[in-house]
Structure 1
Amino acid sequence: MRVFAARHPIWAGIIVIAVLILLYMIFAIWPEWLTDGIGSKKIFLNALFNGVTLGGLYFLVASGFTLIFGLMRNVNMAHGSLYLLGGYLGFFIADQTGLWLLAFPITFLIVGLVGVLMQIFVFRRMEGQDLRQTLVTIGISIVAADLMLWVFGGDFYNITPPSWLSGPIETNLITSQRVRSSGEVVTSYLKYPAVRIVIFGASVAIGVAMWLVLNRTRVGMLVRAGVDDRDMLSATGARIQVVFLGVFFFGAGLAGLAGVVGATFQSAAPGEDVRFLLASLVVVIVGGMGSIPGAALGALLIGLAEQFGSVYFPTYAVVLTFLIMVAVLAFRPQGLMGR
């Protein structure tokens, strides 16, 4: 942080001012003129929390994508299909067993195995052929979308969380205060769905664990070394193909895991595969290829842009996302955290 502030003092100052303004808007009681300008504080806080939790969902999808695309240089345009497959599987597992938590490990395992099959039969035969990988995986995604439409139909599937996670949690954030005629001050606090908070916390934990594995363990060292110079690493006796199969399994499994989360947050339905593939691409471009912290930052920015755009600029909500991407490509093409 000190190095960044020393190299870019103006940007560091802008970031500090923006953080202070955000903290004021979160914790302070808004004056009337501000409430009249952008609406109630409750709407603002809901948009903020929705953006942060949506960013957590985008991170789960994009982190698997950045492992496969950014680290292994495999262009998997069927990543969105893995997400949607995870959503459908999660719904039926939770519906049949009545155990919401059980849907996560089973979906992770099944979708991860689908990813392993893709690595063996598709990507291993096309190593270094980016255009060919792109075209083949686009074809796979189209076929997969039609097959899922045939099997699951065009309905919307929503996973109901368990009773201990249903309902809101009352936070300590004040949304409004008013004085009654008797002189009593009535304070309202923000209430937010418990399931979103819990899943966001799990997303943060997964992100930290991934970063630690990639940067602080022997497995992470083998993955990074294999991407940089596969032949040299193979000459040392390392079983690089097994390592890459493990990475592909984990990246695909994360997409399936995100599908269960998405079906709980929102729903699983035709078209969600394209939406989340596009979101993953934007997150990776903004954050930087192969960077887990970059994927987290990019997902947070895109999630906040979508939610604040839908609340305050509904006509131009989609434009905000692409404005962020264009700005990053113009001023920092390698991504915010890319090298």
Structure 2
Amino acid sequence: MSLTLFVLQTLNGLQLGVLLFLMAAGLTLVFGIMSFVNLAHGSMYMMGAFFAASLYNYTGSFVLAALLLIPAMMALGLALNWIALRKLYRRDHLDQVLATFGLILFFNELARMIWGSSPYYMEVPEFLIGTINLFGIRYPAYRLVIISAGLLTALGCYLLIHRTRIGMLIRAGATNRTMVGVLGVNINLLNAMLFALGAALAGLAGLLAGPIMSVQAGMGEPILILTMVVIVIGGIGSIRGAFYAALIVGVVDTLGRTLLPALLRTFLERSSADIAGPALASMMIYILMAVVLAIRPEGLFPVHRG
């Protein structure tokens, strides 16, 4: 593999990593504070992609679509929490899994009813078409925008969690939810805010992914699985862990799919290598998760609970 291809695939891995972080940030806080298993989080990513594509195709402005998407996704998160999820706070995890799995089916069918079963396309904005010269390597401008937007969002999450009163309550809730409630904090309101924030971040991931992926019903489930892996590796409830783990998973997954087939061709016949390479590459992140759990069962950056 040439150095240029390696750098390009590493950047693609970082791009996947920041999308995974946008998904994992809200979900890991819901896990950490509420011990709530929300399988419908992937559906927020899907609905965000559909909303963004519809807004962009209607307005013709990518920026305006992004500005309208965030409050729309927060409203959807609040509505979902009020109608269905708040009734499951004190139920066991099996009830939460079954209920939120039902929501996955509901949102998939809703998307098919509104947007149809065929992929719904969203074009790359005209001002982001083309490539940028990065020290002699041409890289698509839009993918670089995804990386930049993800890093800026990560910085915003850090400032929110570590530099604001709301962030202090979120960190306290992740450490000892019962004590925070005893001190007079409205835990239900805090939970609703977390769902709204998580839905907005998932919707932002859908917006950024829309132009480079086909927007279609069911697109939330594959990325939800990767998001769960990120949360387990980084440590449940840890935003810092979600960020680093997302980048690691994104780079490992992308480089694995590129390097392994080429590496196996040196030992196996080309046809066998082409079959075994992608299969082994798809297993790499799960092997990574197993290794991390064997060494650090609480994840790489666990939340220290008092």
- Note whether the superposition's TM-score is higher than 0.5: yes
> Is structure 2 residue 63 aligned with structure 1 residue 116?
no
Distance in 1 (alpha carbons) for counterparts of 2:213 and 2:291: 29
Aligned to 2:108: 145
1:99 corresponding residue in structure 2 = 61
Match of 1:322 in 2: 286
State how far apart, in whole Å, the 1-side matches of 2:38 and 2:187 are.
19
SS in 2 for 1:101: helix
- In 1, Cα distance between the equivalents of 2:283 and 2:182? 49
Q: Hey, what's the Cα distance between the residues in 2 that align with 1:72 and 1:214? A: 16
Q: CA deviation at 1:277?
A: 0.8
> In 2 relative to 1, CA 305–234 (structure 1 residues): closer, same or farther, beyond 3 Å?
closer
What is the SS of the residue equivalent to 1:102?
A: helix
User: CA-atom RMSD, angstroms?
Assistant: 1.7
Task: Give 1:235 deviation, angstroms.
Answer: 4.3
Distance in structure 1 (CA, Å) of the matches to 2:120 and 2:223: 16
Partner SS state of residue 62, structure 2: coil
TM-aligned CA distance change 1:146 to 1:159, over 3 Å:
same
Helix, strand or coil at the partner of 1:170: strand
Aligned residue among 167, 171, 174 for 2:130: 167
For residue 227 of structure 2, what is the amino acid of its counterpart? S
> Is the Cα–Cα contact under 8 Å of residues 132 and 141 in structure 2 kept in the other structure?
yes
1:270 aligns with 2:217: yes
Supply the distance in 2 between the matched residues of 1:230 and 1:302 (Cα, whole angstroms). Answer: 29
Match of 1:219 among 163, 166, 173: 166
> What is the rounded CA distance, in whole Å, between the counterparts of 2:52 and 2:176 in structure 1?
38
Q: 1:21 corresponds to which residue?
A: none
Classify 1:332/1:237 alpha carbon distance in 2 versus 1 (closer, same or farther; 3 Å). Answer: closer
Secondary structure of 2:138 counterpart: strand
Identity of aligned residues (%): 34
Amino acid at match of 2:292: V
Which residue pairs with 2:148 in the alignment? 201
Deviations 1:150-201 (A, max 9, x none): 32122223322322211000111xxxxxxxxxxxxxxxx2100111112211
Q: Which has the higher contact order (CA 8 A, sep 6+)?
A: 2
Distance change >3 Å, CA 332–CA 70, structure 1 → 2 = same
- 1:14-53 alignment to 2 at 5 Å? 39-53=1-15
Given residue 103 of structure 2, which amino acid in structure 1 is its aligned partner? I
For 2:21 and 2:13, the matched residues in 1 are separated by 12
Quick check: 1:69 aligned with 2:9? no
Find the partner of 2:139 among 186, 189, 192: 192
Does the CA-based 8 Å contact 1:157-1:263 persist in structure 2?
Answer: no
Which protein is bigger by CA-based radius of gyration?
1
Partner of 1:26 in structure 2? none
CA distance in 1, matches of 2:253, 2:45: 20
The Cα shift of 1:240 comes to 3.0
Letter in 1 for 2:62: W
Cα distance in 2 between the residues matched to 1:292 and 1:118: 23
Counterpart amino acid of residue 73 in structure 2: V
CA distance in 1, matches of 2:237, 2:178: 20
User: Given the superposition, is the C-alpha separation of residues 231 and 41 from structure 1 closer, same or farther in structure 2, using an over 3 Å criterion?
Assistant: closer
Q: What residue is the counterpart of 1:29 in the other structure?
A: none
3-state SS of paired residue (2:217): coil
**Gapped runs of 5+ residues in structure 1?**
1-38, 173-188
Residues 237 and 52 (structure 1), Cα distance of their counterparts in 2 relative to 1, 3 Å cut: same
CA positional deviation for 1:255: 0.6
From 156, 165, 168, the counterpart of 2:119: 156
1:132 corresponds to 2:95: yes
Matching residue's letter, 2:286: F
Q: What CA deviation, in whole Å up to 9, does each residue of 1:290-335 have, x standing for no partner?
A: 1111111111111112211221224222111111111111111111
1 CA distance for matches of 2:2 and 2:148? 27
Unaligned runs of 5+ in 2: 261-276
1:238 deviates by 3.0
Q: Distance in 2 between matches of 1:118 and 1:227?
A: 22
| Counterpart-to-counterpart distance in 1, 2:302 and 2:213 | 31
Seen in structure 2, the aligned counterparts of structure 1 residues 67 and 227 have a Cα distance that, compared at 3 Å, is closer
